[in-house]
Structure 1
Amino acid sequence: THCKSNDLLIYDRGYPSYGFIYEHIKRDLNFLMRVKVSFSQVTIDFASSKKKSQIITIYTGKNTKISDKPYNKNTPIEVRLLRVELPKGQTEILITSLLDNKKYPSSVFKELYSQRWGIETFYDRLKNKLKVEHFSGYSNESIQQDFYAALFVSNIQTLIVSELEDDLVNANQQKKYDYKINTNLSYGFLKNRILDLFLTSKSMEKSFEELKQLYKENLIPIRPNRSFERNSGKYRTRIKPNITKNQKDSF
């Protein structure tokens, strides 16, 4: 109900399947998804062909249960495969419902797919910096309270950072590298001062100015084209810590 006909829904790996794609087509919703090379024999062949774009027809898998589905094993779906070359020579395979090569040339999809990155990093901050999955109680009220408190703190941090954008632009003109706010430290500074903002007689404006000054004093450089090898299995064996209830180690 939130999607409109001209929207483009972007998904990372793990989402694509025949049934998932079928539901988008049925609802006239355009999509762009990343798929593993091993998604099907067709994607394997496409990856080895070196083509930049190819329209293919997909069918449901041989072992897929379809007795309760609105489609059968002979229901075709036309989709388009795309190749995206990464800086280190790696290749990503994307699949989309946008079939018109003239209206949507292959060159635009790398930038389109990267639009999801801001949302992914936001979830990373919520989970790993604000500990949104760690709750101080079992009740529905406790869980909602902790969840919305994390969002509230994130919004305050975002507002402060946005107010510093002009200052950063001016400061970066005189430096070798562009600098940005240190996200880790910014949440720590805010954590220690959140009560000053709302529950003391201290001026809120003064508290904000102190936070902004701390943010500006602890910038980190942005080094162009710097990247790290992705360790895709680093969370596979991770065990979530046991958090004693009523002792939440975050905000």
Structure 2
Amino acid sequence: MKAELFSDALKNEFRISEKYFTRKRKQQFSTILLLMLNMLRKSLSLELENFLSFLKIGTTRKFTKSAFVQARKKISPKVFKHLSQTLIKEFYTDNEPGIKTWKGFRLLAVDGSRITLPLTKDLKAYFGETKNHTTTSIVQAKCSVLYDLENNYIIDGELAPISQGERAMALSHLIYCKQGDLILYDRGYPSYDFIKYHITNNLDYVIRVKISFSKLILDFEKSKKKSQIVIITSGRYIKLSDKASDKTAPIKVRLIRVELPKGQVEILMTSLLDIKNYPNNMFKSLYYKRWRVETFYDELKNKLMVEHFSGYSRQSILQDFYAALFIGNIQTLIVSELEDEIAEKNKQRKLNYKVNTNLSYGFLKNRVIELFFTENQIEQPLNELKQLFMENMVPIRPYRSFKRDMGKYRSRTKPKITKNQKDSI
């Protein structure tokens, strides 16, 4: 990763024009990348002074806030997607014994959310606006991620206009999936074409479906059966003349009934038809694993503070977003290095402990510069980070549950920050 960050190949591929970053100036391509990776959440002037002071850059090499803003315009936001993909590729190709799976599957999940953006005419025109129950309107973007539930890596992420459909964004992630993956979806995703795409590309899935999704699902729910293999077809009101013949063929799927507390029922649809290898009783705990991608958005918004953007242009919004995803993967990589040591210490404790996610991002602030800065050795800052992560762990308290307040965000205001979760970056 360090070699990639300072390579000419990276600069040549992700500079906006081949004329940019050709001369040796104060604002080098790698320097601007490092600054953007340092989680710019405060005043840009303060962040810049902090960055230059941390690297002990003399007055002759300092540059202004305006110079940074002009320099970042010359860099494609996709550079951070590339760096993240490089990290992930290394993990999956050179670390086979350390890759966690579920019954041989790489267990993935897709989920979407909304990211609130600064209120500008340009961002409103591109991303769109939404309104709450008052007359207030805000600018929001649609966010979607493909997440490895067992290994905690963000495989892919996208930020798109609010009008973009969840299914279309989910399908864009699937170029990073392959046979042997099992993908979990919430109830906003199922459709005939969506499922057909997975079958065509040999991708297994588990999708939660609304009981009102179709008469077939309604009849299954009323039957009280635990599991049933059924045939679904394209909707009866779809014009078959508009579709190729192979897109209208019946699809065999398995429906599974999951009983929840207080008599609630969930219906899951899956391509795992083998009841012997995949019995009904395993799907409740399997689908529960999807909760990890939901909690990731808590990390992204409340710990990485992605909505505290360092600029107002569309380009800077995307740079901050993809940089945050990359930092999330760096944090996961460091935590994964500590798993064996944590497991050993937990044997001597009454409760199991884990790394404090909020503080871990705070510890990465500035130290992420040391990790990648070419003049420093990586071992010292990496070991320092590991030590800080180990010294600031929190207990895992089992069987805790909290009532979900669906109306909490209707006013589009931030929730109250609890005393044990203050901003760390």
Shift in alpha-carbon separation, 1:98–1:178, aligned structure 2, 3 A = closer
Deviates most, 100-109 or 171-180? 100-109
| Identity rate, percent | 61
In 1, Cα distance between the equivalents of 2:377 and 2:346?
30
Residue 339 of structure 2 is matched in structure 1 by: 165
User: How far did 1:88 drift?
Assistant: 6.2
Structure 2 matches for 1:171-182, cutoff 5 A? 171-182=345-356
Residue 323 of structure 2 is matched in structure 1 by: 149
Q: Determine helix, strand or coil for the equivalent of 1:83.
A: strand
In 2, Cα distance between the equivalents of 1:53 and 1:98?
11
Shift in alpha-carbon separation, 1:66–1:80, aligned structure 2, 3 A = same
User: How far did 1:103 drift?
Assistant: 4.3
Q: TM-score, normalised by structure 1?
A: 0.74
* Residues paired across the two proteins, number: 241
Structure 1 gap ranges (5+): 241-248
1:45 to 219, 225, 229: 219
Please tell me whether the aligned partners of residues 359 and 424 of structure 2 are also in contact (alpha carbons under 8 angstroms): no
Residue 222 of structure 1 is matched in structure 2 by: 396
Residue 161 of structure 2 is matched in structure 1 by: none
Amino acid across the alignment from 1:180: K
Tell me the alpha carbon deviations over residues 163-194 of structure 1, each in whole angstroms, 9 at most, x when there is no partner: 33233223322322111111112112222544
Structure 2 matches for 1:86-105, cutoff 5 A? 86=260, 90-105=264-279
Please tell me whether the aligned partners of residues 346 and 352 of structure 2 are also in contact (alpha carbons under 8 angstroms): yes
Shift in alpha-carbon separation, 1:64–1:228, aligned structure 2, 3 A = farther
In 2, Cα distance between the equivalents of 1:46 and 1:226?
32
Q: Determine helix, strand or coil for the equivalent of 1:99.
A: coil
User: How far did 1:155 drift?
Assistant: 3.0
Q: Determine helix, strand or coil for the equivalent of 1:162.
A: helix
Deviates most, 60-69 or 31-40? 60-69
User: How far did 1:117 drift?
Assistant: 4.2
Amino acid across the alignment from 2:313: Y
Residue 387 of structure 2 is matched in structure 1 by: 213
In 2, Cα distance between the equivalents of 1:124 and 1:67?
45
Shift in alpha-carbon separation, 1:79–1:159, aligned structure 2, 3 A = closer
Q: Determine helix, strand or coil for the equivalent of 2:243.
A: coil
Higher relative contact order (CA 8 A, sep 6+): 2
Tell me the alpha carbon deviations over residues 31-90 of structure 1, each in whole angstroms, 9 at most, x when there is no partner: 221112222233233223321101223344455565523369x86433211012346654
User: How far did 1:95 drift?
Assistant: 0.5
User: How far did 1:235 drift?
Assistant: 4.4
Please tell me whether the aligned partners of residues 131 and 250 of structure 1 are also in contact (alpha carbons under 8 angstroms): no
In 2, Cα distance between the equivalents of 1:156 and 1:164?
13
Amino acid across the alignment from 1:136: G
Amino acid across the alignment from 2:213: F
User: How far did 1:16 drift?
Assistant: 0.5
Shift in alpha-carbon separation, 1:27–1:176, aligned structure 2, 3 A = closer
In 2, Cα distance between the equivalents of 1:124 and 1:229?
16
Shift in alpha-carbon separation, 1:195–1:169, aligned structure 2, 3 A = same
Q: Determine helix, strand or coil for the equivalent of 1:231.
A: coil
Structure 2 matches for 1:57-68, cutoff 5 A? 57-64=231-238, 68=242
Please tell me whether the aligned partners of residues 362 and 424 of structure 2 are also in contact (alpha carbons under 8 angstroms): no
In 2, Cα distance between the equivalents of 1:209 and 1:48?
57
Amino acid across the alignment from 1:172: N
Q: Determine helix, strand or coil for the equivalent of 1:94.
A: strand
Structure 2 matches for 1:76-155, cutoff 5 A? 76-86=250-260, 90-132=264-306, 134=309, 136-138=311-313, 140=315, 142-143=316-317, 145-155=319-329
Q: TM-score, normalised by structure 2?
A: 0.47
1:69 to 208, 223, 243: 243
User: How far did 1:160 drift?
Assistant: 2.8
User: How far did 1:96 drift?
Assistant: 1.4
In 2, Cα distance between the equivalents of 1:250 and 1:25?
44
In 2, Cα distance between the equivalents of 1:6 and 1:61?
29
Q: Determine helix, strand or coil for the equivalent of 1:180.
A: strand
Deviates most, 81-90 or 216-225? 81-90
